[in-house]
């Protein structure tokens, strides 16, 4: 890219500075074309391990590998210029020790060029967050419903709908902030808890199934585009991509079978 066309990406400190300010717009992407579209409108693009279900057809995020995240991260970086790109560290790549987490995160950043990583975190992960940040790796944390912990939590269930877990979620968010996270995703919790977390932590909260009062919002892009019939309660379908795609494919099949495609404008001829 020439200096004339250079676009400065948003940084982790830029996102942190938005605490209590203009809402932070975030979505997920897993490929270059989608990233190019999102880049114009989003402050942060997450290469989420949700790629497991929405792209690879897996039943959970647990089967995602570091290599998969790197491949999709590379694609998103090629398709974007402005947004901060964050890549999820997948299950099993960071839990053993801060040192292992650093090796995984450093590899992701070096091989993709992304600006930050995300880990599903609680107070147990504070040491790891601190270790990464001290070594130059910006970290976005994730509390509440943590998909990588689905087997412990009993499935993809909303967390924080009971007062008994409120203090735990708030404690986890505070620990993530104190350890140096630049933002924290708050997923699948009651509005009351999301509001408390937003008020009580010093870093931006990114809600997904939380509250409109969070400092920002994120959704899984194929979900909000209407690619799937069943989506979580907190998803609003802003499009009807599945219907549009099905209709286009049906029209294509119809024309192929009728030998109407390719038509005169779609074929080549000898040059005169």
Pick the closest to residue 112 from 66, 68, 77 (CA basis). Answer: 77
Residue 50 labelled as part of a binding site: yes
Is 99 catalytic? The answer is no
Pick the closest to residue 82 from 17, 10, 14, 22 (CA basis). Answer: 10
Helices (H), the chain: 12-16, 32-39, 51-54, 66-79, 98-112, 126-134, 150-153, 163-179, 191-200, 221-224, 241-257
SS3 at position 203: coil
Residue that is written with structure tokens 């203090």 in the block: 167
Pick the closest to residue 24 from 216, 243, 209, 197 (CA basis). Answer: 216
Residue 49 labelled as part of a binding site: yes
Residue 118 labelled as part of a binding site: yes
Q: Which of 168, 187, 192, 200 is catalytic?
A: 187
Residue 120 labelled as part of a binding site: yes
Q: Which residues make up each annotated binding site for Mg(2+)? A: 49, 88, 120
Residues identified as active-site = 187
Q: Which residues make up each annotated binding site for 3-methyl-2-oxobutanoate? A: 49-50, 88, 118
Q: Which residues make up each annotated binding site? A: 49-50, 88, 118, 120
């Amino acid at each position: 890219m020439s200096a004339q066309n250079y676009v400065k990406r948003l940084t982790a400190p830029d996102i942190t500075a938005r605490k209590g300010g203009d809402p932070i717009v975030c979505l997920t992407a897993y490929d270059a074309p989608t990233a190019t579209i999102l880049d114009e409108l989003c402050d942060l693009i997450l290469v989420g391990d949700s790629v497991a279900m929405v792209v690879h057809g897996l039943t959970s995020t647990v089967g995602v590998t570091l290599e998969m995240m790197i491949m999709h991260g590379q694609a998103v970086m090629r398709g974007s210029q402005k947004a901060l790109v964050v890549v999820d560290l997948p299950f099993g790549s960071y839990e053993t020790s801060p040192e292992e987490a650093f090796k995984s995160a450093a590899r992701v950043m070096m091989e993709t060029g992304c600006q930050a990583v995300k880990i599903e975190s609680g107070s147990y992960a504070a040491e790891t967050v601190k270790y990464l940040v001290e070594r130059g790796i910006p970290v976005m944390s994730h509390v509440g419903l943590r998909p990588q912990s689905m087997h412990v939590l009993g499935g993809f269930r909303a967390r924080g709908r009971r007062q008994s877990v409120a203090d735990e979620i708030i404690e986890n968010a505070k620990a993530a902030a104190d350890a140096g996270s630049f933002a924290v995703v708050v997923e699948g919790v009651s509005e009351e808890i999301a509001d408390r977390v937003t008020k009580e932590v010093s870093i931006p909260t990114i809600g997904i199934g939380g509250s409109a009062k969070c400092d920002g919002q994120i959704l899984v892009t194929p979900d909000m585009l209407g690619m799937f019939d069943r989506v979580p309660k907190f998803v609003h379908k802003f499009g009807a991509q599945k219907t549009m795609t099905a209709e286009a494919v049906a029209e294509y099949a119809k024309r192929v079978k009728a030998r109407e495609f390719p038509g005169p404008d779609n074929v080549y001829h000898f040059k005169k």
